[in-house]
Amino acid sequence: MWPYSDSMRGSELGVDDIETAVDTGAVPRGDRIDELLDAAYQRALEHAEGAVADYIPILADADPEGFGICVADVDGGIHEVGDTRYAFSIQSISKAFVYALLCDAVGHEAVFEMVGVNNTGLAFNSVVAIELNDGHPMNPMVNAGALATTALMPGGTAEEKWDAVRTGLSRFAGRELHVDEEVYRSEAATNHRNRAIAQLLESYGRIQADPMDVVDVYTRQCALLVDAHDLAIMAATLADGGVNPVTGDQVVSADVCRDTLAVLAASGLYERSGEWLFEIGLPGKSGVAGGLVTVAPGKVGIGTYAPRLDSAGNSVRGQVATAYLSRALGLNIFASESHFSGRTPE
């Protein structure tokens, strides 16, 4: 909850009527981005640590050498290197975009109260975190929060909710997305923990629908096929106030983008989120199939694919490449230079 009051929000703080100022700067010209993208790719290629996920059986078949990076700027420019058009399942990256869709549909307050925004500090599929917080999912980037988010999506039936999810994520990508049925079947046969989490949330009143229907929609959501090019466009949509830079479609509002990026900054890389923010300084989200999406507000979206993961489930090469681009392109949202520009203050 907000630390100063159980209910204090923008209206109580007296800021709702203040026009938001945005000053995001600019990225280098396109050929410079291409040059730095190649450098990031070569640097990340030196890293062969990590392992391909195998707790979902089908994911163990991924080529550990697969690797691609795509940068999409908010003007629609695309810069890419490597396996950027290789399709893989979106997995947990979907959480960020479904959360944005839900916020756009039902509003900031409702989602805040039901799902929350605070990091659990525990594994993404932790049951303990739910019990420690009296049934509250805490944030939408862990599985409990993602299930609660999916359950709240508009629609009176599971099929209607699924249609809202798939259609919304397709609008973010700028093309129609489809489920990898083999991945879906593999996950559906092994998602015992998610079923248990959904039933636990139902017992606390956090899920009102049939928990098994919710798990099924969530499983299909995670099995949607994307590539690094798609992820970059989806990220650039969040970077540009909710407008897809390729299609021009206003997918969600600018306020929703702000809220989503705040949640990603706090919890997008699970229990490594603090380290990620410290080193890279950008909102991001990983997926166990090897995808990684990063957003530089007002500037670019970055999508990477590299299936070797660290112990927290985050792409190793994706992190290395993104860290390089964050510094080389001047993307870190916490970085600044003195406005004195070298002159001695009087």
Q: What is the DSSP string of 163-229?
A: HHHHHHHHHHHTS---B-HHHHHHHHTT-HHHHHHHHHHHHTTS--S-HHHHHHHHHHHHTBEE-HH
Residue from 263, 284, 252 nearest 115 by CA: 263
User: Do the Cβ atoms of 254 and 261 come closer than 8 Å?
Assistant: no
Catalytic residue selected from 27, 41, 92, 217: 92
CB 287 within 8 A of CB 92: yes
Calpha distance 312→316 (Å, rounded) = 10
Catalytic member of 218, 300, 305, 315: 218
Structure tokens at 311: 């112990």
- Say whether 270 is catalytic: yes
Nearest to 40 by CA among 340, 320, 228: 320
218 is catalytic: yes
Q: How far apart are CA 313 and CA 222, in angstroms?
A: 15
Yes or no: say if 237 and 301 are a contact pair by the CB < 8 Å rule: yes
Which one is catalytic: 89, 94, 95, 117?
Answer: 95
Q: With beta carbons less than 8 A apart as the criterion, state whether 137 and 116 touch.
A: yes
Helix (H) or strand (E) holding 279: helix 273-279
Q: How far is CA 175 from CA 26, 90, 215, 301, 338, in A?
A: 27, 14, 25, 17, 43
Quote the tokens at residue 79.
């810069």
Going from the C-alpha of 289 to that of each of 60, 65, 94, 325, the distances in angstroms are 9, 13, 12, 22
Is 288 one of the catalytic residues? yes
DSSP reduced 3-state for 293: strand
Tokens of 227: 């590539």
Among 41, 99, 184, 270, the one annotated catalytic: 270
Could you say which of 115, 117, 288, 295 is catalytic? 288
Catalytic residues: 92, 95, 218, 270, 288
